[in-house]
Amino acid sequence: MIRPDLSLPIPEHIEAAHFIGIGGSGMSGLARMFLDRGIRVSGSDRADSAALRDLAARGAIVHVGHDAANLPDDVDTVVHTGAIWPENPEFLLARQRGLHVIHRSQALHWLIGGRRLVSVAGAHGKTTSTGMIVTALRDLDADPTFVNGGVISQLGVSSGTGSDDVFVIEADESDGTFLLYDTSIALITNVDPDHLDHWGSRDAFYDAFARFADGAREAVVISSDDAGARRVSSRLTHANVVTFGEAAEADVRVTEIRTDGAVAFSLTHDGQTVAAQLPVPGAHNAINAAGAVAVLLTLGYGLEEAVRAVEGFAGTVRRFELHGVERGVSVYDDYAHHPTEVAAALSAARTVVGDGRIIAIQQPHTYSRTQEMYREFAQVLEQHADHTVMLDVYGAREDPVPGVTGALVSDAFADPANVHYVADWQAAADYTATVARPGDYVITLGCGNVYLIIPQVLEALGRTSADDTAEPSA
């Protein structure tokens, strides 16, 4: 892993940029916007993907695999993610040539320029909230530029170049880069302590959010309900703080949440109440919508028009996304990789599964998070899923830690019959198929590559008859 060095100078002018890790949702979005600016783009990633093929079709030169030969002679700037290793051959050659080598957050800073920036931060809900704001603005006939952490379903992209002055981004708190931007309106969805391997302590994490919020030039929009957000609010000196949530004192208050199918609720602001309904399930999305509406209010829109615009949001890719139905079993995928997110995703599924059961396939993300939160993962999975199939840890940028595997989580279940740990993916898919019954939901959970098991699960379901199903066994 390479920690971003935000003290490095950002070039004033870029003619040719090379992206190391170009296939990621954030990096591919940045590369697409560089192409929109007329900049020559090249890049590499460790595996082929639809994002690489799309960029190639747009004129980028892309490579599968990392090699020094991938770095073109005419490149003046190299953009990298924090997930690459210092030994990456393209990174080393770029430094040897004396090129501008910048973190992706600095590339985004360069793209933003002096536009009116809406930055969405928080431990959970960032991608959904950013998507809600972007699609609502477009529905209101605005044309914002945006960079999101995931693909917005109805737009089919994670980024877009608009003609208006407003720029909307999902800001990353994991490595402190959200402090880099000149934010006009800061939205904080929640402050559930995470990434403590970077911040060192909860107090430092809260202080970073307070600095981010107080740095906003126009307004801070922050949750009234989340305990961490309330801690941050108590540290703020900003003159314009707008709260949202279910709390009685919230400036944009959510009431009457109903989760039988599509989530319905009411939003109240300044004495006016408007009923709302979303096509995406889950009480947490009513709260996300309240935050998005609060941002639209600070941008000058009225409550009624803001609510109607947010209602059009159709979701983001890898957020409770249906991939297929086989033998009456629906197979979904969700990006949830923190206990709070897992609880929200499974709770949303519970509102629409009816009489069916929920079978979670969990891939823990990073050794440090798993080691710190394995008990919390076990607790929420056992509480919200009917049965869990536990895979091994997706290490991402981290080296393995002895004893930290999927078994660490599964062994923490109170009832061993509620979980089945299996490291082999094909064995996991086959086991899931024997457990699932018509009407059940199977949901893969994690922000690594767990979604790649879905074709195996669907294939296993297809060749397993309903008569072959069995009760779960540990």
Q: Domain boundary at 312, 329, 357, which?
A: 312
pLDDT in tens, the chain (474 residues): 666 666 777 888 999 999 999 988 789 989 999 999 999 999 999 888 888 999 999 999 999 999 999 999 999 999 998 778 889 999 999 999 999 999 988 999 999 988 999 999 998 889 999 999 999 999 999 999 999 988 898 888 888 999 999 999 999 887 778 888 999 999 999 997 655 555 557 788 899 999 999 999 999 999 999 999 999 999 999 999 999 999 999 999 999 999 877 799 999 999 999 999 998 888 889 999 999 999 999 999 999 999 999 999 988 877 788 889 999 999 999 988 888 889 888 988 898 888 999 999 999 998 988 998 999 999 999 999 999 999 999 987 678 999 999 999 999 999 999 999 999 999 999 999 999 999 999 999 998 889 999 999 999 999 876 556 656 654
Strand ranges of the sheet holding 185-188, from the earlier edge strand across to the other edge: 157-160, 145-152, 166-170, 116-121, 185-188, 219-223, 241-245, 252-258, 264-269, 272-277
Residues 214 and 263 in one domain: yes
Tell me whether residue 225 is in a domain.
yes
**pLDDT for res 379:** 96
Question: How many whole angstroms separate alpha carbon 285 and alpha carbon 328?
Answer: 27
Instruction: Confirm whether residue 126 is marked as ligand binding.
Output: yes
Kindly state the DSSP code that residue 468 receives in the 8-state scheme: G
Residue 245 annotated as lining a ligand binding site: no
Same domain as 432, residue 378? yes
* pLDDT number for residue 293: 98
**Containing domain of residue 355, as a range?**
321-464
Q: Give dist(CA 92, CA 86) in Å, integer.
A: 7
128 annotated ligand-binding residue:
yes
Has residue 3 been placed in a domain? no
Closest C-alpha among 31, 253, 5, 244 to residue 122: 244
Residue 147 located in a structural domain: yes
Q: Which of 452, 469, 460, 385 is nearest to 427 (CA)?
A: 460
Q: Do both 80 and 161 map to the same domain? A: no
Side chain identity at residue 87, one-letter code: E
Q: Could you tell me the CATH number of the domain that includes residue 274?
A: 3.40.1190.10
Same domain, 99 and 145: no
Q: Quick check: is 11 in a domain?
A: no
For helices 50-57 and 25-36, the axis angle rounded to 10 degrees is 0
Is residue 10 a part of any domain in this protein? no
Distance of CA 27 to the CA centre of its chain: 14
Q: Binding site annotation covers 464?
A: no
> What's the confidence (pLDDT) of residue 473?
54
Looking up tokens 């199903």, which residue turns up?
Answer: 469
- On whether both 329 and 375 belong to a single domain, the answer is yes
Output the pLDDT for position 471.
Answer: 62
Residue at 472 is within a domain:
no
Q: How many Cβ atoms sit within 10 Å of the Cβ of residue 408?
A: 21
Query: 329 and 284 in one domain?
Result: no
**Does residue 30 contact residue 22 with C-beta atoms inside 8 Å?**
no
**Nearby residues of 98 by Cβ (< 8 Å), 6 or more positions away:** none
The verdict on 382 and 288 lying in the same domain is no
Q: What is the phi/psi pair of residue 151, to 5°?
A: -75, 130
Assess if residue 431 is contained within a domain.
Answer: yes
Residues 259 and 385 occupy one common structural domain: no
Query: Rounded CA gap, 79 and 44, in Å?
Result: 11
What predicted TM-score, i.e. pTM, was given to this entire model? 0.79
CA dihedral 462, 466, 467, 471 (to 10 degrees): 110
122 is in an annotated binding site: yes
Domain co-membership, 173 together with 37 = no
Is 328 annotated among the ligand-binding residues?
Answer: no
Separation CA 454–CA 444 (nearest Å): 8
Confidence at residue 1, expressed as pLDDT on a 0 to 100 scale? 61
Q: Are residues 140 and 236 in the same domain?
A: yes
**451 token code pair:** 């979604």
Tens digit of pLDDT for each residue in 307-327?
999 999 988 877 788 889 999
Spell out the residues 6+ positions from residue 134 whose beta carbon is closer than 8 angstroms to its own.
144, 146, 148, 152, 155, 160, 168
Tallying the residues shown for the chain, one arrives at 474
Q: What is the CATH number of the domain that holds 74?
A: 3.40.50.720
For 249, counting Cβ atoms within 10 Å of its Cβ (0-12 exposed, 13-18 middle, 19+ buried), the class is exposed
